[in-house]
Structure 1
Amino acid sequence: MDQVATDLMNRLPEEHVLTFPAEEMLAAEVATSSPNYRLQRVEALHALLENEDCVIVTSTSGMNRLLPAPAVFKQAALTLQVGGVVDLEQSRILLSSMGYKYEKMVLRPGDFAIRGSIIDIYPLNTEYPVRIDLFDTEIDSLRYFDASDQRSVENIEQVTVLPATDFVVSPTDFDAIGNRVQTAFKAAQGKLTSQDAQAKLEQAISPLLKLLLTSN
C-alpha cells in the first residue's frame, strides 16, 4: 500500500494522495492505532465527506473495515472560533464521542481536559494542542500551546478539530452501547472461575463502561 501511495505521489500533487491504513491481524492493527495512522484514516474520511479531489489508497482490510454512517462522522468535526458559543458539558460529551480521552492535563494527541472555564484539546490534525478560554459560554480566546510547558505558542481566530478515531459513536447511542457492553461483561465475568482473571477483565472493561454510561 505504501509503495502504491508513493508511486501516485510521484505523478500527482502530494496533497491529493491520502492513505487509509488498516490491518486484519491484531498485532498489525495495534501498530496502525498510533495517532499518525488514526490521523491518516480520519483525514481520508474527511476528504470523502467534503468531496475533495483526491485519491485514497487502502488495503482489502481497509475496504472491509466497519465505519460510522457518513452523517455521524460529519457531525463529529468540531469547528471553534473566537466569539462562538460553547457549552462545557455538551463539549465533554461531543469530544468523548469523537474518540478523545478525558485527562487532567493534555499531553498527547487525542487528549482533552476541562478546568473551570478552560478547555484544552490536543487534536490529531494540529501540531500543537488548542486552549479555549471561555467567558461564560462565549469563546474569549483561542490559542495553540506547548504541552510540555503549557506556554502559549500562537493566538488563533478559528480551528477545526477532527475526530481522534475513525470509529465515531453518536452521543445518542452511548446508553444503548453501554448497556450492551455491561451485559456482555457480566456474562463473560460469570464464566471465569479465577478471581485474578475476573479482576483483570474488570480492570480492562470498567473505564469503557464508566465513559459510556456517564457521557450523557
Structure 2
Amino acid sequence: MNLNSITTSKESLPILLGLKQVSKKNIYIFPTDKEANEFKNNFSNLNENIEIFPGWDTLTYDSFIPSYEIQGKRLAVIHSLLTTKEVNIATSIKAVSQRLFFENLDVVEISIDQEIDFEILIENLIHLKYVRKDRVEAKGTFAVRGGQLDVYPINRTEPIRLIFDGDTVIELRNFNPISQRSSTVEKSSIIVPATELFQINKLDILEAVSSNKNKELDEYELFQYCQNLSSNHSLFNFVDKSSFHIVDIERCK
C-alpha cells in the first residue's frame, strides 16, 4: 500500500491523479467531505468511476445514528473495493478514520432468472439486519406477500420488488414506497446490510461497557456503545493493493 501526498495546482490535479494511478484501485483523501465531493463533480467528466466514501453525518455525542443513506453509500463503496478490478474513491480524513465493525462484507446479489431459495433469501435479509414488516415504506425493511418480496436496500433510492416463480426470480422492479406502484424494470440489484453494525454481537457490547446482559439496546445505544469495542478496522483494511493519496488542498491553491 502506497501513501502519497499530492501538492500541486488544482488545474494540474487531474493529470497528476492519472499519473499517480500505480494500481487500479485508488483512494484520494481530502481534508473534508465537501472537497471530496467537489473533486468528483469537477473531474467526473475525466473518469466516470469516481465514488464517494462519506463520513458519518453525525457528531460524536449526537443523539441519533448516521442516516441510512450515508451508511448505504459507505457499504456500497466497500463492496466496490472488494469486487471490482478498477475503482477511484474520493473521501475525507474523517471518513477513513472512522472505525468499521465488520471483518468481511456480506451482501445479497439478485438478478433476473436467478434461482434462489425463497426462505434462505428471507434468512439472509434478517442476517443483514433488515426488519420484516407488513408493508415496505422505509429503508432497512422488507415484506413478503405470496411469491412477491419487497425490500428497501439502504444503498438504493427506491425499494425493489422481486416476483418469484417457485425459486426463480422472474421480475425485478423499482416501486414507489408511498403508492406501492411498480415502476422501472431492473436486471439486477445488490442489497448491502441494513446497518454497518450487522456483525455486532450485543453481548460483546454489554460486556465492554460492564452492563446488564439482558438490557435491550436501541440503534442509537448500539452505535454509541460500539465505540467501546476494540475494533481497529477501517477503510485501510479493505484495500490490500490499493494506492492511497493524501490531497493537500491548501498547497494546491
Give the alignment's TM-score, normalised by structure 2: 0.60
Counterpart contact for 1:123–1:161, Cα < 8 Å: yes
Letter in structure 2 aligned against 1:81:
S
> Which of 54, 67, 86 is the matching residue for 2:88?
54
Identity %: 22
Counterpart contact for 2:127–2:198, Cα < 8 Å: yes
Letter in structure 2 aligned against 1:52:
E
Counterpart contact for 1:8–1:17, Cα < 8 Å: no
For residue 189 of structure 1, report the CA deviation from its aligned partner: 7.2
> Which of 132, 140, 153 is the matching residue for 1:110?
140
Counterpart contact for 1:107–1:147, Cα < 8 Å: yes
For residue 117 of structure 1, report the CA deviation from its aligned partner: 1.9
Letter in structure 2 aligned against 1:94:
N
Counterpart in the other structure of 1:212: none
Stretches of 4+ aligned residues off by more than 4 angstroms: 178-187, 201-205
Q: 2:206 & 2:37 partners in 1: Cα distance?
A: 44
Question: Counterparts in 2 of 1:166-205, with a 5 A limit?
Answer: 166-169=196-199, 177=201, 188=212, 202=216, 204=218
Matched, 1:9 2:43: no
Counterpart in the other structure of 1:194: none
Structure 2: any 5+ residue segments left out of the alignment? 1-31, 223-253
For residue 202 of structure 1, report the CA deviation from its aligned partner: 4.5
Counterpart in the other structure of 2:184: 154
- What's the secondary structure of 1:85's corresponding residue? coil
Aligned length: 184
Counterpart in the other structure of 2:62: 27
Counterpart contact for 1:99–1:110, Cα < 8 Å: yes
Question: Counterparts in 2 of 1:112-131, with a 5 A limit?
Answer: 112-131=142-161
For residue 59 of structure 1, report the CA deviation from its aligned partner: 3.2
Q: 2:182 & 2:42 partners in 1: Cα distance?
A: 40
Higher helix content, 1 or 2 = 1
Larger RCO, structure (CA 8 Å, separation 6 or more): 2
Structure 1: any 5+ residue segments left out of the alignment? 191-200, 209-216
RMSD, aligned α-carbons: 3.3
For residue 108 of structure 1, report the CA deviation from its aligned partner: 1.5
Matched, 1:140 2:164: no
